[in-house]
Structure 1
Amino acid sequence: MGDDASRQTTFGADGELSDRDPDADDTNDFGEPMDADETQGGYNRYAVSSLLQKAVRRSDEEVAAWAAWELARSGFAWNLWERLHLYVVEDLRAGQEVALLVDRYETLATDRWDPAEWRGRLCAIHAALACARASSSREAPNADEFFRNAAAERAEARETGGEPQVDFPVGEFEPGGEYDVAFDKHTGEGSRMGRDGEFFKTHGARVGPTGEDEQSARWQRLNMALHDVDFSGAQVAHAVDPVDADDKWAEPEFDDGEGE
């Protein structure tokens, strides 16, 4: 189910859009007939789903585990897994492996076992706990919102002939500017400027600020030695040197008579 956000606006609407597992119980813990969007414990599943994401966002392990268990046992496993997958892109600090764990737990719960039976519920709890223990961050949504607001501000400024209050981090992004190194042989502008493999090897392939490890640096030096360009010693050293942590886009020019 890929559109839970739109469904959330319909809670309480006679339950016509409910997607409870048809094999799930039709009575709650109290033996009462369940509404279409009611969980076994008598809660609204939209509220429990929202609580799940808030709990993992705030690192409340017990509440996250319960909310995942409640959705899984109530026939709303799809809602549970949609929420956890949303969490890993909306509320998780980038680069953490819990995103892969969530996918694996879902595969076990839904492809190998019944998501509502005990093994499926254990997978739900494991996934929720893994998410709650991960480092939460709203960096991706905050960045997305800022970039959208900046785009609107730039468009409005152009229409009125003024200057935007905020701009994209790259500004005008033109050759000769702060991010000049991006215009290499892989771009039309760079090609027209004659920036070939020599420019890319010397400037465009640098990493940082920790730099290459020794093995990777060794390979790069050998590659440059075997290249059809006669690179200078300064160019080779610069190519494997880490970028400046305080000025990541700074690039010197080389004019020592060796190479270009």
Structure 2
Amino acid sequence: MADDESRQTTFGADGELSDRDPDADGTDDFGDPKDADETDGGYNRYAVSSLLQKAVRRSDEEVAAWAAWELARSGFAWNLWERLHLYVVEDLAAGQEVALLVDRYETLATDRWEPNEWRGRLCAIHAALACARARSSREGPNADEFFGNAAAARAEARETGEAPEADFPVGEFEPGGEYDVAFDAHTGEGSRLGRGAEFFKSHGARVGPEGEGDLSARWQRLNMALHEVDFSGAQIAHAIDPVDADDRWDEPSFDDEG
């Protein structure tokens, strides 16, 4: 278990695990002394951090904004920013630009300003709102867990000699199989098969299914026409054609390819 995960599981029961900002006020909103893991509002900071993550995951903007504000004002800004950076990869869809925004907001809050003063708190709120407004998805953790389970199933199947209950999406992954195009000159298998520039240009460099833009397609046609390999018209046309959205790995065979 990672260090931060083990810290989370304590729920703040052990004060030695706390790392409050030493400049933070030692009393809560009611004037009472705060425990090591207590926020200014009298809440456990582990619970508030968990609530922040669930609010991001469920796209609840108001709750996310409050939880971020509560952690920041209570001297737990380090905890807030650490968790937000995790949330953008654990609870949001891949490709969300909010990951860059969170990093920028943290820089402003911690390098330019003080994290628990009003400008730092605004950064915390903005970062939490940005995360809550981004598209939520557990695709990263779900993929990681499934691939791990598939690895275990494959290993168990090898021991028993039976087919695995779950397998990697590429299956056996070998030359001649569905993903044969991956074995080009950049791999040992492809080199042994004599697959050089002709194979790569005709098959390995294809994109899609959205296809190349007009300018990129023009450059590719010219590059292949000027190449030392004498590409056929069919090879050039195929290299520029987008892959089939329903069969992304299907590739024809050109008899004159090396």
Structure 2 residue aligned with 1:212: 212
Rounded Cα–Cα distance in structure 2 between residues aligned with 1:12 and 1:213: 54
Cα displacement (A) at 1:72: 0.2
Q: What whole-Å deviation, never above 9, does each CA across 1:136-192 have from its counterpart, x for those lacking one?
A: 000111011100000000000001111101111000001000000000000000000
Cα displacement (A) at 1:45: 0.0
- Equivalent residue of 1:103, what SS? helix
Cα displacement (A) at 1:124: 0.2
TM-score normalized by the length of structure 2: 0.97
Rounded Cα–Cα distance in structure 1 between residues aligned with 2:146 and 2:87: 19
Structure 2 residue aligned with 1:244: 244
Asked whether the equivalents of residues 27 and 33 of structure 1 are also in contact (C-alpha less than 8 Å), the reply is yes
Cα displacement (A) at 1:10: 2.4
RMSD value over aligned CA atoms? Answer: 1.1
Cα displacement (A) at 1:14: 3.7
One-letter code aligned to 2:48: V
Asked whether the equivalents of residues 4 and 79 of structure 1 are also in contact (C-alpha less than 8 Å), the reply is no
Structure 1's consecutive aligned runs of 4 or more residues displaced over 2 angstroms after TM superposition are: 9-14
- Equivalent residue of 1:16, what SS? helix
Rounded Cα–Cα distance in structure 1 between residues aligned with 2:45 and 2:102: 20
Rounded Cα–Cα distance in structure 2 between residues aligned with 1:104 and 1:113: 12
Farther-moved stretch of structure 1 (177-186 vs 75-84)? 75-84
Rounded Cα–Cα distance in structure 2 between residues aligned with 1:17 and 1:65: 25
Matched, 1:25 2:25: yes
Matched, 1:93 2:84: no
Structure 1 residue aligned with 2:44: 44
Rounded Cα–Cα distance in structure 2 between residues aligned with 1:92 and 1:156: 32
- Equivalent residue of 1:33, what SS? coil
One-letter code aligned to 2:85: H
Structure 2 residue aligned with 1:164: 164
Asked whether the equivalents of residues 92 and 136 of structure 1 are also in contact (C-alpha less than 8 Å), the reply is yes
Rounded Cα–Cα distance in structure 1 between residues aligned with 2:14 and 2:254: 72
Asked whether the equivalents of residues 71 and 79 of structure 1 are also in contact (C-alpha less than 8 Å), the reply is yes
Rounded Cα–Cα distance in structure 1 between residues aligned with 2:235 and 2:139: 37
Asked whether the equivalents of residues 206 and 242 of structure 2 are also in contact (C-alpha less than 8 Å), the reply is yes
Structure 2 residue aligned with 1:110: 110
Rounded Cα–Cα distance in structure 2 between residues aligned with 1:50 and 1:5: 12
Cα displacement (A) at 1:95: 0.9
Rounded Cα–Cα distance in structure 2 between residues aligned with 1:193 and 1:85: 45
Rounded Cα–Cα distance in structure 2 between residues aligned with 1:158 and 1:85: 38
Q: What whole-Å deviation, never above 9, does each CA across 1:28-58 have from its counterpart, x for those lacking one?
A: 0000000000000000000000000000100
TM-score normalized by the length of structure 1: 0.96
Rounded Cα–Cα distance in structure 1 between residues aligned with 2:188 and 2:14: 57
Rounded Cα–Cα distance in structure 2 between residues aligned with 1:32 and 1:14: 20
Aligned identity (percent) is 86
Matched, 1:125 2:125: yes
Rounded Cα–Cα distance in structure 2 between residues aligned with 1:146 and 1:12: 31
Asked whether the equivalents of residues 4 and 82 of structure 1 are also in contact (C-alpha less than 8 Å), the reply is no
- Equivalent residue of 2:15, what SS? coil
